[in-house]
Structure 1
Amino acid sequence: MKVYFINPPYKSEYGKFSREQRSPAITKSRTVYYPLWLMYAAAVVRKEGFEVAFLDAPAKQMGIKESYDVVASNCQGTRLFVIDTSTPSIYNDVEFAAGLKDRFQNSFVVLVGTHVSALPNETLELNEKIDAVARHEYDYIVRDLSIAIRDNRDLSAVRGLTYRWEGNIKSNPDMPFIEDLDDIPFAAEFIKEFLDEKDYFFSPSTYPEIQIFTGRGCPFRCNYCVYPQVMHGHKYRLRSAENVVQEFMYIAENFPDVKEVVIEDDTFTASRERVEEICHKLIDKRLNKRLRWLCNARVNTADYELMLLMKKAGCRLLIPGIESGNQNILNNIKKGTRIEQYEPYVKNAKKAGLLVHACYMVGNEGETKETMQDTLELALKLDTDTAQFFPLMPYPGTEAYDWAKSNGYIEGNYSDYNKENGDHNTVLNMPHLTTQEMNEFCDMARKKYYLRPKYIFHRLWVGIRDPEDLKRSLKAFGRIRKYLFKK
């Protein structure tokens, strides 16, 4: 029996849709994430002994017809289709999945992802041809569903599944979160066999890169962050240091063109002891000489000593979610950080020789034109290597969504989370702060940040010392210049 995993096409005429990232879109920088969660599930099912097929249509910029044709050419023996989804593309994803059901009527079609995990019943009600939704962390759900379909077992035993049964929608109890993450195959091994690393791009990273997870879940409670709230929970579950370093070694030995590893954990530095252990092992095995890496690192989880060790182990860049320059807003979104922590963090990173990509957002509870200005002033003061500015995009299943929805601040439908060209949009519209005002502020903030003479000279200086970084910067600038210079 074959199980076919599909990251479906969406707005391919405009570019590569990055469905896996926290805010799915065809981004200004043309970032496109690996479909990591879909890959891990496929690897688990393959490890169980099933034949798998995998199609990442956005990575190849395929349209709907071309995607159907590719599936048809390689579908022999397929009884289960696993379809990735996102909030902005959900209507498209359901329609694509229903089209598969029309073409392969004896197959079973299950949807996965954050949106369907938050709204499984609503999703199934969109189209009666969809058989099921695998909720939350779905690796083992899809594995058990594959076994049940192969062996003609009752679906009521498949934990984490919401499905149609005798004209009704039935939800089984949740599947427990996976504790032994070392049991999950390496993402890099799956990429080697099924994907092409040159199809993917992450603007803060050196190209080409490979993305991996070294843990799942996040112990922090930011009210807007979709993956901990909807998919993987708040307990940070870890792969062993030895297992992580083995994957680095696999990448070094099997991907001679890959320049960097992107560690996508929500907060890689949440477990200091494990970070130290990983760093020492990377140094001992001299992998720090072969591969650079970057990670998400909160401002209250990494001090100067840890940064020095990370730099020695090959780390090049840190990504903190700074979000706002106003403490009241940080408190409202349950960020768990304080304004006074930001400047020492950035200074320590620079002192340790690390670059910083800072993330800022506007539109949270308590936001005004004045507090948005606070955020821009903080960004200019911190003067990190790169920065991003976006309006809040409240996704179903998050506390931020519940806040916005209950106050009547959300307008439009799910497809309005992207603009017509696939770029980010916000459905947030508040009486005191409109969608247009937030979008215009973010456009202005990017211009003011990136078009400073000081910043331009800094990028050139970094590029002189690091030619790979210069190539990355020129590539990223070439992709966003039309947004920086538009009137």
Structure 2
Amino acid sequence: MDEIAGRWIPLGLLYLAGAVRQANLEAEIYDAMAKGHGYPEIEGRLRASRADYVASTAITATINEAVKTLELAKRIKPDTVTILGGIHPTFMYEEVLSGSAAVDYVVIGEGEATLRHLLEVLEGGGDPATVPGVAFRRRGELVATGRRPLIEAIDDLPVAWDLLDWDNYPSLVIPGARMGAISTSRGCGHGCRFCSQQMFWEKSWRARDPRTVADELEHLYGTYRLNVFLITDEYPTSSRERWEALLDEIIARDLPVHLLMETRAADIIRDRDIIGKYRKAGVIYISLGIETADQSVLDGLGKEQTVEEARQAFDILRQQEIVSEASFMVGFPGETSDSIKRTMQLAQDFNPDIANFFTYIPWPYADGYDELKPLIRVHEYGKYNMVDPVIEPSAMSMLQVEVAIADGYRRFYMGKIMEYMTMKATFKRDYLMRITKLFMGSSFVMRKLGIGMLGKIPAKVAEVKRKFRE
């Protein structure tokens, strides 16, 4: 599903295209989602391009579509070299390579240096086994060259900003705005067990120079008129000193930009004395991962956060003209109807401006996956999207989980709509009214909310059946 707020740019592909150019090759980016294209259009583009190399990236939810695209490229031009990277292929390269002969190479981990090196070796007729960070087949045998060390100087990575058609990335919430994205750091040192990012970045955190980031914002605004930016960092505020320096740099440029980001509740509390700088620098939207009302579940997830910290963080954000979002997860292995009700009540008690309720997903490469196998009911990776339930909790049916999520959304937003309408007319009120209208106008959202109404009786029957079996 496209983002309700608009279409975000594929920032990772811009960095990879920069690496392709460093290998002295011509690069193209084709963002089929942003253009609203399906496979007929993708096939047409591949036939017109006749590219020597076709590369894609994938998370678990998109891995099958990415492989299908590479298979299409091979059918059109059999000698095309196909390359696949991203979080899911990094950890599941054996499954990916054994599952489709159309995938020639998998890039393991951080991609820029490895992709450049691989292309240089292939162009020179060398042995890809000399390239750290790749996996491939050779005479029917799997070859994996291990992980390449992470890049130290991420400020030096070129970004191919000129390759995008920027008209494809409007903001649907802020009229007349164009949406961009920037990366100010990579990784996170925390150990949340449900998070694939800390695994991918090996629990490291590397930051860019604040002045370089501000220069980049200034360039993107001046050259492409981008004025809404998603900060894609997993954890942008890890260092208060560096984060405040970045805010100061952006404020000094006096750029008319809006910044959207996510961070941790503890950092909002830590920064309560400089939260005004957040807003002055253009931060209009902050998302906090709350996850659950059950502190024992939080502790088991390795979240390193208390429920009370989250409450304080929303109180602080409420004092500023900053839209606050809380994200929760439901459908844990030990979930019950009562525990979900407590989480939904917590969402109302915290009273963020926006709330999202995601399903708990057992990533097939994560610690503890084998323990969860008896509860996994869905094996189609396309459903591993944090919207559809994948596991069936011991005390609930999957339908009950879906109904609970739909009810949670309905109850939260029915209360919020009146609150938005009675707010003083400000940028924040207008933003919330527009995004709520988009949310309620989404066919995907309406279909999901409908599960709550249509599924209550079947869900109750499932509950009775479960109790009868017990």
The TM-score, its normalising length taken from structure 2, stands at: 0.88
Is 1:56 aligned to 2:19, yes or no? no
Letter in 1 for 2:121: A
Distance 1:430 1:296 in 2: 29
Distance 1:232 1:205 in 2: 36
Distance 1:310 1:244 in 2: 15
Question: What's 1:306 paired with?
Answer: 274
Q: Residues 243-322 of structure 1: matches in 2 within 5 Å?
A: 243-256=212-225, 258-287=226-255, 290-303=256-269, 304-322=272-290
Alpha-carbon contact 1:260-1:292 (below 8 Å) kept:
yes
Letter in 1 for 2:296: N
Q: Is the alpha carbon distance of 1:341 and 1:254 closer, same or farther for their aligned partners in structure 2, counting shifts above 3 Å?
A: same
The alpha carbon displacement at 1:423 in A equals 9.2
Question: What's 2:417 paired with?
Answer: 456
Is 1:390 aligned to 2:358, yes or no? yes
Task: Pick one of 40, 54, 59 that aligns with 1:65.
Answer: 40
**CA deviation string 1:18-68 (max 9, x = no partner):** xxxxxxxx2684764432222211122224432111111122121212212
Question: What's 2:464 paired with?
Answer: none
Task: Pick one of 440, 448, 452 that aligns with 1:477.
Answer: 440
Where in structure 2 are there 5+ consecutive unaligned residues?
454-470
**CA deviation string 1:424-447 (max 9, x = no partner):** 312111331221111111100000
3-state DSSP of counterpart to 2:268? coil
Structure with higher helix content: 2
Q: Residues 70-469 of structure 1: matches in 2 within 5 Å?
A: 70-75=45-50, 78-186=51-159, 190=161, 192-196=162-166, 198-199=168-169, 208-229=178-199, 231-256=200-225, 258-287=226-255, 290-303=256-269, 304-399=272-367, 401-405=369-373, 408-415=374-381, 417=383, 424-452=387-415, 455-461=416-422, 464-466=425-427, 467=430
Q: Is the alpha carbon distance of 1:474 and 1:462 closer, same or farther for their aligned partners in structure 2, counting shifts above 3 Å?
A: farther
Distance 2:426 2:5 in 1: 25
Alpha-carbon contact 1:346-1:356 (below 8 Å) kept:
yes
Q: Is the alpha carbon distance of 1:363 and 1:484 closer, same or farther for their aligned partners in structure 2, counting shifts above 3 Å?
A: closer
Q: Is the alpha carbon distance of 1:346 and 1:127 closer, same or farther for their aligned partners in structure 2, counting shifts above 3 Å?
A: same
Alpha-carbon contact 2:180-2:229 (below 8 Å) kept:
yes
**How high is the sequence identity, in percent, across the aligned residues?**
22
**CA deviation string 1:144-172 (max 9, x = no partner):** 11101111111111111001112211000
Where in structure 1 are there 5+ consecutive unaligned residues?
1-25
Q: Is the alpha carbon distance of 1:484 and 1:168 closer, same or farther for their aligned partners in structure 2, counting shifts above 3 Å?
A: closer
Question: What's 2:14 paired with?
Answer: 39
Alpha-carbon contact 1:36-1:212 (below 8 Å) kept:
yes
Distance 2:227 2:431 in 1: 9
Distance 1:402 1:39 in 2: 36
Deviates more, 1:244-253 or 1:439-448: 244-253
3-state DSSP of counterpart to 1:216? strand
Q: Is the alpha carbon distance of 1:372 and 1:263 closer, same or farther for their aligned partners in structure 2, counting shifts above 3 Å?
A: same
3-state DSSP of counterpart to 2:394? coil
Distance 1:269 1:476 in 2: 29
Letter in 1 for 2:412: Y
Alpha-carbon contact 1:297-1:318 (below 8 Å) kept:
yes
Q: Is the alpha carbon distance of 1:397 and 1:33 closer, same or farther for their aligned partners in structure 2, counting shifts above 3 Å?
A: farther
Alpha-carbon contact 1:207-1:472 (below 8 Å) kept:
no
3-state DSSP of counterpart to 2:34? helix
3-state DSSP of counterpart to 1:152? coil
**CA deviation string 1:1-34 (max 9, x = no partner):** xxxxxxxxxxxxxxxxxxxxxxxxx268476443
Alpha-carbon contact 2:169-2:180 (below 8 Å) kept:
no
Q: Which has the larger radius of gyration?
A: 2
The alpha carbon displacement at 1:397 in A equals 2.1
Letter in 2 for 1:178: I
3-state DSSP of counterpart to 1:88? helix
Quote the RMSD (CA, aligned, Å): 2.5
Alpha-carbon contact 2:182-2:231 (below 8 Å) kept:
yes
Distance 2:439 2:421 in 1: 14
3-state DSSP of counterpart to 1:237? strand
3-state DSSP of counterpart to 1:482? helix
Q: Is the alpha carbon distance of 1:306 and 1:400 closer, same or farther for their aligned partners in structure 2, counting shifts above 3 Å?
A: farther
Alpha-carbon contact 1:321-1:358 (below 8 Å) kept:
yes
Q: Is the alpha carbon distance of 1:52 and 1:239 closer, same or farther for their aligned partners in structure 2, counting shifts above 3 Å?
A: same
**CA deviation string 1:255-283 (max 9, x = no partner):** 33x34211011121111111100111111
The alpha carbon displacement at 1:366 in A equals 3.5
Letter in 2 for 1:67: I
Question: What's 1:9 paired with?
Answer: none
Q: Which has the higher contact order (CA 8 A, sep 6+)?
A: 1
Q: Is the alpha carbon distance of 1:211 and 1:477 closer, same or farther for their aligned partners in structure 2, counting shifts above 3 Å?
A: farther
**CA deviation string 1:237-260 (max 9, x = no partner):** 11110111011101221233x342
The alpha carbon displacement at 1:201 in A equals 5.9
Aligned length: 446
The alpha carbon displacement at 1:130 in A equals 1.9
Letter in 2 for 1:482: M
Alpha-carbon contact 1:296-1:319 (below 8 Å) kept:
yes
Q: Is the alpha carbon distance of 1:202 and 1:223 closer, same or farther for their aligned partners in structure 2, counting shifts above 3 Å?
A: farther
**CA deviation string 1:147-201 (max 9, x = no partner):** 0111111111111100111221100021111111101124xx52x4323354466
The TM-score, its normalising length taken from structure 1, stands at: 0.85
Distance 1:206 1:477 in 2: 21
Letter in 1 for 2:378: G
Alpha-carbon contact 2:58-2:89 (below 8 Å) kept:
yes
Letter in 1 for 2:267: T
The alpha carbon displacement at 1:88 in A equals 2.8
